[in-house]
Structure 1
Amino acid sequence: MHRRPRLTLTAALVGLAVALSGCSRAVKVVPLEGADEDPVCAQVAAFWPDTVGGQPSRITAADSRTVAAWGDPAIVARCGATPPGPTTDQCLDIEGVDWIAVPIDDGVRFTTYGRDPAIQVLVPQEYATEALVMPAFTAAADVVPQTLGSCT
């Protein structure tokens, strides 16, 4: 009579362990400050792509729709970045969206230019070119009007 509750408890603990191990595969992403309260970022999140550069979407550890991830290593997108001001960094027009490209230790950080709030996309160096990755973000970026200038 006491065995059945133990088996149930054991099954529950195994289920908990499986659930927790699934969480460890979630991409650790920190939402940008204030993004969750920004109604524009909520609209942007509705346009996060299903795939990026052929990579499927991934679960993020953040409880926020303003962040998203794809592939392994993860391509990460976040809405709510401070719009960059004038810069000498490379500015690219990709499908009508201006992006500032800044090399980082393990890839490139792309930030929309001329849009408030800005969208930031972190692309690991394993993904060869922005031409394969960045077009996936056109619909999300187009949610935010380009009112603060453009690449020249």
Structure 2
Amino acid sequence: MPGPRRTAAALGAAAVLLSGCSSAVGVSVPGGAAGCGDPRWPAQVGGHERVDTDPANAAVAAWGDPAVVARCGVGALAPTETECIEIDGVGWIPSSLSDGTRFTTFGTDPALEVLVPSAYDPAPLLLPAFDEVAKALPPNGLRCR
């Protein structure tokens, strides 16, 4: 029977091997990421744990598989006729993607973008997880009507 040290060492080695099998979610870092400071990303989104991104950068984060991806520092949206939804005091502009929905904060500069795969519909239910990050962004005077 192995002693506690051997068991701990074996578990540590297994964790390293398992982490080597997982792949990071490929993301692009937005050009305005510096305007986001150090976002306080949620630990979980929709019950899914945070996963690594490639590149690793404070302005991007991902959760689950398929990954919900958040990018802080995208360009602010101009006034639009597109439906704006307000959740917890945060304005979001949705746009359909081939495999999900992109939500971009409306009324912040820089903006926060959240990409939600179709597997997580109804997608707007995930947005409250990003309240703290969105509300920390500088307002630009635009609001949902």
Q: Provide TM-score, normalisation by structure 1.
A: 0.79
User: What is the CA-CA distance between 1:63 and the residue it aligns to?
Assistant: 2.5
Moved over 2 A (4+): 18-22, 145-148
Equivalent positions of 1:57-68 (< 5 A) are 57-68=50-61
Q: Does 1:103 pair with 2:96?
A: yes
2:128 is aligned with what amino acid? P
Match in the other structure for 1:139: 132
How many residues end up aligned between the 2 structures?
132
| 8 Å contact from structure 2 (residues 32, 110) kept in 1 | no
Q: Provide TM-score, normalisation by structure 2.
A: 0.82
Structure 2: state its 5+ residue gaps. Answer: 1-16
Match in the other structure for 1:33: 31
1:82 to 1:34, Cα distance in 2 relative to 1, 3 A: closer
1:151 to 1:69, Cα distance in 2 relative to 1, 3 A: same
User: What is the CA-CA distance between 1:89 and the residue it aligns to?
Assistant: 1.9
Q: Aligned partners of 1:145 and 1:95: how far apart in 2?
A: 17
1:99 to 1:146, Cα distance in 2 relative to 1, 3 A: same
| 8 Å contact from structure 1 (residues 90, 102) kept in 2 | no
Among 37, 53, 57, which residue is 1:42 paired with? Answer: 37
Among 67, 84, 89, which residue is 1:74 paired with? Answer: 67
Q: What fraction of aligned residue pairs are identical, expressed as a percent?
A: 43
Q: Kindly name which structure, 1 or 2, has the bigger radius of gyration based on alpha carbons.
A: 1
Match in the other structure for 2:12: none
